[in-house]
Chain A
Amino acid sequence: MSESQHGALKLRVKSIEAVTPEINRYTFCPADDSWLPPFSGGSHLTVLIPSEEGTKRNAYSLMSSPYDTSQYQIAVRRVDDGKGGSLAMHNNVREGDVLLAGIPANLFPVSKHARHHVFIAGGVGITPVFAQVEELSLKGSPFELHLAVRGPDHAALGCELKERFGDQVTLYGHDGQSRLNTMEILAGRPLGTHAYICGPTRMIDDVVTSAHSLGWSDANIHFERFEDLGSTGDPFSVTLARSGAVIEVSPEQSLLEAVEEAGHKLPYLCRGGACGECETEVLELDGTIDHRDDWLSESDRATCKLIMPCVSRATCTKLVINA
C-alpha cells in the first residue's frame, strides 16, 4: 500500500483536467508507485490542501473505479467565496505535486438489498455517482441516473457517463431546455427501489418531499450534501479539559480546525457533521451550543452534553470539552 504518514496517503498529482469552466478533475497515483487502498462506490477522500492560511482539509468524493487501486480521481469545483480549499486546489496544485490524503471512507454507500437504484444528481454532485454506478455495473445491478446541469458548458461529466451507460443516463439542462422533474422520476417505481440524491440542498429537499408524498420510507432515500455547509459564525473560545489548552475559534474556522491549528488532535472522518466520529462530550458550558450536524438526536441536542466539533459552534462565555 502507498506509504502512509500519520495515517495519511502520499499521492502524486498525475494529471489535472478542466472538465467544466468551474470543475477540475484530478488524477492521483501513489507517490511511491505502489498501490492505493480499494474503496466502495460513494466513498470520499479527505485531501490536505496547503494554502496561504494553513492546511485545508476538504472531503471530495472518489469518482474513479472502486476496483482500480492504481489511481484515485476527484473533481473539484472552484468556490470563489468559500474557505479557500478549492481555490488552492485550482490555483496552486500542479501536476507532479505530492499531496497528503486520508484513507477513503464511505458515508454514501449503495444499498446492498435494492432491486433498482435511481440516482438523481445536480452539477458537481455527479462525482460519487461515477464510482457508485461503476460498482453496480460490474455487479450487474439495475440502475438509472438523472443528472441536471446548468448548460452545455457544464455537461462534460454527464456526457461521459451517457456515452458509457447509454439509456441508463438522462441529462437535463444540457440543452438549455429540459428540466428534471422529481415526481415523474419517482412515481410508479417497483418495491425495493432506492433513490440517491447528490446535489444542492434545494434538490435534496425537493426529492425527499416528492418521495415522501409518494409513500416512500426514509430507508429508501439516501443523500449526501456536497455543498460545504461550513462552520462559520461568531468567534468563541474552547478549553480542552485534558491539556487545559484554551483555543480561540475564529469566525472563518470550525472548532475542529481551530483545535488542529493549535497542534492538538481530535478524531474525525467526514468533517461534515454526518458520521459521528468526532462526537465529543461537553463538560462545562456557560451559554448555548449551535448544533449544525446531522448526527445528534433531538434529545442529545437539547441536553447540550455532546458537540460535533467539525461543524457545530457555541455562543458562550465558557465551553470545556472532554478532549
Chain B
Amino acid sequence: MLDIIVVGAGPAGMTAAIYARRAARTVLVLEALSYGGQIINTPDIENYPVEAHISGFDFSTKVYEQAKGLGAEFKFEKVVGIRREEGAFVVETAKNAYEACAVILATGSENRKLGLEDEQKLTGRGVSYCATCDGNFYRRKTVAVVGGGNTALEDALYLSDLAEKVYLIHRRDSFRGEETNAARLMERANVEIVWNSNVTRLLSDKRLTGIEVTNKVDGSVRTIELNGLFIAVGRVPENQNFASLVNLDEAGYVVAGEDCHTSCEGIFVAGDNRVKTLRQLVTATADGAMAATEAVKYINSL
C-alpha cells in the first residue's frame, strides 16, 4: 500500500508530491491528461517568485522533473472514484485501483461552458476558451469575448491589438474585473461593449459565423456577425466524483481551510478546487506543501 495518492498533476499536486517525498513517504500522482494542468496554457508567467519570465509549460516541466527526481511516481489515468476501505482509501481509475493511507485532491478546475447548442462542435471552429492560444488566428477579423471578470477584460484587451473589431458581451451593467483593465478597455476605439446581454445562440455554417445576443433589460435580440467567439465566463472545479466523500460548497469547491483538511479524515485538498479567495500559481503550490505536510502528520498518527 502507498502512503499518499495525489489526484491531479498540476502545480498543487506536483508540489504535494515533492513535499511527500521529502518526508520520505511513497507517493503516486494520478493525472487524466498530462502534467501541468491549467498553467500550461499561460505563455508567460511573470508573477511567480524567482523567474521574471517563464512559460507555463516550462514551469510545469521543471516541477515534474523535480518531483520525479525525488522519487514521485506518475501514472496518466483518470480517477473515476474513491472509496474508504478498512482505514485505507481505494482510488479507482478506468483500468486500475490503487490503495493509500491518505489522498490529496488537487484536481483544479475547467473552463465553464455557456451551455449553448453546438458549443462543443464549434470549439476549434470559431469558438475558443483561450485568447492567448488562439488570438493569432483572428488578425484583422471580428471577434467577441463573453464575460465580465478579469480574464474577459484581459482577453478583450489582448484581442483588440490583433483583431479589427472586438465586442465584449457582459450580462451586467458593470465589470467585476479590475478598474485599470476596464478603463484601458473603454479607451480602445475598436472595442464595443454590449452590456446587460447574454449570448443566446451560436450561428454557424460549418464554422461559427455569428451570435445571437439577447438584452436582459428590454428583451431585444441582436445578431452579430463574427469570425471568433472567446468564452471567458469563469471556471468550474472538478470535484463531482468526490461529492459523496467530502463536503463541497454550493459552487462545487471542496470546503477546507488553510490547513487543507477536508470533512473526511485522511483526505486533503490542494489548489484551485479548494474554497479560497485567491487562485494563483503561488497559492496552489502553497496548498500542495500544506496538504502533503498535513497528510504526513495524519499517517504518522495512525
Q: Do A and B interact?
A: no
Question: Could you list which residues of chain B lie within 8 angstroms of chain A, going by C-beta atoms?
Answer: none
